[in-house]
Structure 1
Amino acid sequence: MKGKEIGASKSYYYYYGICFGGGMLSSGVTHLAITPLDVLKVNMQVNPNKYNNNGILSGLSTIWKEEGFYGLWRGWSAKLCGYGIQGGFKYGLYEYFKNHLYATDLLSRNSIFFLSGLSAQLLADVTLAPFEAVKIRVQIQPNFAKGLADGFPLVYRNEGLAGFYRGLIPLWSRNLPFSMVMFSTFEHSVDLIYKNIMHKRKENCSTAQQLGVTCLAAYAAGAVGTVISNPADNVMTSLYKKKAESAMQAIKNIGFINLFTRSLPIRIALLGPVVTLQWFLYDTIKVLSGLPTSGGLARDQEEVKL
């Protein structure tokens, strides 16, 4: 009996270790790749008159002409490290909450997905906030710092620990709805595709087909989540830029309609492919490690064998 318990423990740590590592690698790499678009998005939010009129290519060209190659990659180290760590916690904790903490017949499937996404993102953003504080300052204040190495001590020296978490509440306001909607939309999209398009159970599909389903469901999840989270993203950037002292003041300054429309096209261009690539890399890592692709609950399908 003791041998079986040890074996189960190893499987338990192996599964969630792969989920954490896969989430960290997929999130860090994808967010690093779209750093130039993220730089443009932040500048669109803090200087809409300059960057919002002529489109994405024109905005990137403006940054290139004014600041050169480095200007397009401002904040890359904070994105790689911050979103990598956040992604590890987000995906790893989501799997744990979905299959264990909230795995009860008292909750509906949708409630499990929402609560798991909410809980995982809540904790993951605590690890992201300090990196995001440095990243945004580096991107919108050219003379602030070059990256994490000099940015972290500068924020601490000027603002103390509070400076790292100045935008935590707006970060939660942006990411919690996004995560809840994203994970739930992904799960339901996976079910819909297998039932109504593939007409097969996941176990009866090839690995390539399963990864294709992951990509389709992920793109839908990213697009829906982006629209939901756009207002809070604008408020958060305004607070870091210190154009407002509170979220309510930022909302008043930006305007209700602009909360939903400002930088939305660039965010869709960012997050649609990013979320898709994240899920693809994440599930590829799981498959290569001998685990099933994402989607579904352990109580319905014996996907997690502990």
Structure 2
Amino acid sequence: MTSKKENPLHSLIAGTTAGAIEAYVVCLAGCACSSSTCLASFVTYPTEFVKTRSQFGGKRESPLTIIRTTVREKGITGLYSGCSALVIGNAIKAGVRFVSYDYFKGILADPQGKVSAPKSLLAGLGAGMMEAIIAVTPSETIKTKLIDDAKRPHPRYRGLIDGTTSIVRQEGIAGIYRGLFPVMMRQGANSAVRFTTYTTLKQFVQSTARPGQQLPTGITFAIGAIAGLVTVCVTQPLDVIKTRMQSLNAAQEYKNSFHCGYRILTEEGLLRFWTGTTPRLIRLVMSGGIVFTIYENVIRVMGGKA
């Protein structure tokens, strides 16, 4: 990210702020806001909802079919099932991600503060593992179960608090840690690919087009968006397995993540691993641009060197 080791508190504040704003932007709906904000809200979180719904087992449905069916049966608000879990989880995981990445990067950086692509990959992998354990698995499990429950004729859960307490009461703490292994694999791969792509592109631009200068917000956003695009293409199969392992009936259908992957491959075909690519691509390209841009600017405001 930056050429010097960041203050952990600065990284935590900047990362949490970036994650919360990104999640709020993608989840805000049905509010009295400007048309541009509502448009951004409409385009983004529903892509996460559609992506998750499309990755469940059973009959394959196109994104448009999922949207039409959901709106017809549940109304527009049905497209925002599990949104609250994502907002809270996003804020926490982004803070953990940037603190962890900056910590590992500081250990691996050369005397000039530069990080090679392999070392950036390793630092990103470590950051992804940390965020998976601390924040992502619980929030993603709750979000996935809420989305899965919402497609029932008579949903069991009445929102985030009721859903979380019901899951913990019925399944214990392990109930919100379903799919920990595939989440660790996905988040490790996500962060490794995302940070490596972002750091490599940023260092290249700074060393060629703008040596010794801070990057404009537009360029930072574009680099972050490209990092999101590359991440989706590389890690989508892990995301599909993660969703299946966190669904309501996962315990009855799959022995473990490897069994889940084997069943998807043998029963549904290789291409099933890339189900939900388009909606996830829209979300991660936008979130990549938003998160990295906000992070860099918050660090800059707090006196760091972005």
Q: TM-score with structure 1 length normalisation?
A: 0.81
Aligned counterparts of 1:66 and 1:47: Cα–Cα separation in 2: 20
- Number of the residue aligned with 1:272: 285
Match of 1:131 among 130, 135, 139: 139
Partners of 2:198 and 2:223 within 8 A in 1: yes
- Number of the residue aligned with 1:247: 257
- Number of the residue aligned with 1:299: none
Q: How many residues align?
A: 270
Give unmatched runs, 5+ long, in structure 1: 1-11, 294-306
Q: Does structure 1 residue 42 correspond to structure 2 residue 34? A: no
Aligned counterparts of 2:10 and 2:115: Cα–Cα separation in 1: 27
1:215-253 CA distances to partner (integer Å, 9 max, x unpaired)? 122111111111111101111111122243322332233
1:6-45 CA distances to partner (integer Å, 9 max, x unpaired)? xxxxxx9x93222111111211232341322211111111
Compared CA separation, residues 141 and 88, structure 1 to 2 (3 A): same
Q: Does structure 1 residue 156 correspond to structure 2 residue 168? A: yes
Aligned counterparts of 1:163 and 1:65: Cα–Cα separation in 2: 31
Compared CA separation, residues 191 and 140, structure 1 to 2 (3 A): same
Aligned counterparts of 1:108 and 1:95: Cα–Cα separation in 2: 11
Aligned counterparts of 1:74 and 1:80: Cα–Cα separation in 2: 12
- Number of the residue aligned with 2:232: 226
Aligned counterparts of 1:44 and 1:233: Cα–Cα separation in 2: 12
How much does 1:150 deviate? Answer: 1.3
Match of 1:97 among 89, 92, 104: 104
Aligned counterparts of 1:108 and 1:271: Cα–Cα separation in 2: 24
How much does 1:214 deviate? Answer: 1.5
Compared CA separation, residues 79 and 47, structure 1 to 2 (3 A): same
Compared CA separation, residues 136 and 160, structure 1 to 2 (3 A): same
Q: Return 38-47 or 246-255, whichever deviates more.
A: 246-255
Match of 2:299 among 286, 297, 300: 286
1:113-148 CA distances to partner (integer Å, 9 max, x unpaired)? 122111112111112211211111001112132333
Q: Secondary structure at the match of 1:51?
A: coil
Q: Does structure 1 residue 174 correspond to structure 2 residue 186? A: yes
Q: Does structure 1 residue 79 correspond to structure 2 residue 79? A: no
Q: Secondary structure at the match of 1:204?
A: coil
Aligned counterparts of 2:65 and 2:171: Cα–Cα separation in 1: 35
What percent identity do the matched residue pairs reach? 23
Match of 1:63 among 63, 70, 82: 70
How much does 1:57 deviate? Answer: 4.5
Aligned counterparts of 2:232 and 2:178: Cα–Cα separation in 1: 22
Partners of 1:26 and 1:87 within 8 A in 2: yes
How much does 1:103 deviate? Answer: 3.4
Aligned counterparts of 1:258 and 1:235: Cα–Cα separation in 2: 13
How much does 1:259 deviate? Answer: 4.3
How much does 1:62 deviate? Answer: 2.6
Q: Does structure 1 residue 29 correspond to structure 2 residue 51? A: no
Q: Does structure 1 residue 119 correspond to structure 2 residue 126? A: yes
Partners of 1:35 and 1:79 within 8 A in 2: no
Aligned counterparts of 2:134 and 2:121: Cα–Cα separation in 1: 21
How much does 1:68 deviate? Answer: 1.0
- Number of the residue aligned with 1:165: 177
How much does 1:213 deviate? Answer: 2.6
Letter of the aligned partner of 2:287 in structure 1? V
Aligned counterparts of 1:26 and 1:204: Cα–Cα separation in 2: 23
Q: Secondary structure at the match of 2:304?
A: coil
Q: TM-score with structure 2 length normalisation?
A: 0.81
